[in-house]
C-alpha cells in the first residue's frame, strides 16, 4: 500500500485529532481518532520527525490520550522550531495554553 501524500496525511491528521473529538463522532469516546492519528504519524516520522506541524499533531494525540505533561513538552519543542512560521507557531502556542489550563484543572481536582 502506498503511503498517503503530504496534504492527504495532514488532512487525515486534522480529521482524526480535531474534527472527530470536537463533534463527538464516536459518542463518548474522548480519544476518538487517536489510534488512527498515531498510525499516520508513525509512517510519517521518518520524513517529518522535526516538522512543527507534525509535532503539533503528535501533541494533539497525547492530549487526547490524557498525557498532558508530554503534550506540553511536544508543544514547547514544536513552538521553538516554528519561529519562522508564525501562523503555525500561533496554532501551537494556542494548543500549549489550552493544555496548560487543562493540566492545571486536573492538578487542582486531584
Q: Indicate which CATH number applies to the domain containing 27.
A: 1.25.40
**pLDDT higher than threshold 60 for residue 1:** no
Which pLDDT value is given to residue 22? 82
Cα–Cα nearest to 30, from 42, 17, 43, 21: 21
Which pLDDT value is given to residue 21? 84
Is the residue at 96 inside a domain? yes
What mean pLDDT do residues 3-15 have?
A: 88
Contacts of 3 (CB under 8 A, 6+ apart): 9, 43, 44
**pLDDT higher than threshold 60 for residue 110:** no
Number of domains in the chain: 1
Is the residue at 1 inside a domain? no
Cα–Cα nearest to 17, from 73, 26, 80: 26
**pLDDT higher than threshold 60 for residue 10:** yes
Is the residue at 67 inside a domain? yes
Is the residue at 59 inside a domain? yes
* CA separation for the pair 79, 60 (Å, rounded): 14
Is the residue at 35 inside a domain? yes
When pLDDT is cut at 50, 70 and 90, the band that residue 106 belongs to is low
Is the residue at 68 inside a domain? yes
Q: What is this structure's pTM?
A: 0.87
* Domain, as residue range, for 11: 6-109
Amino acid at each position: 500500500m502506498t503511503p498517503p501524500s503530504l496534504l492527504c496525511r495532514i488532512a487525515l491528521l486534522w480529521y482524526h485529532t480535531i474534527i472527530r473529538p470536537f463533534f463527538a463522532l464516536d459518542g463518548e469516546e474522548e480519544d476518538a481518532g487517536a489510534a488512527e492519528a498515531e498510525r499516520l504519524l508513525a509512517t510519517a516520522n521518518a520524513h517529518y520527525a522535526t516538522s512543527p506541524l507534525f509535532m503539533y499533531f503528535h501533541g494533539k494525540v497525547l492530549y487526547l490520550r490524557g498525557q498532558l505533561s508530554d503534550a506540553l513538552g511536544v508543544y514547547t519543542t514544536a513552538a521553538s522550531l516554528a519561529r519562522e512560521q508564525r501562523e503555525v507557531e500561533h496554532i501551537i502556542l494556542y494548543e500549549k495554553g489550552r493544555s496548560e489550563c487543562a493540566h492545571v484543572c486536573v492538578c487542582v481536582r486531584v
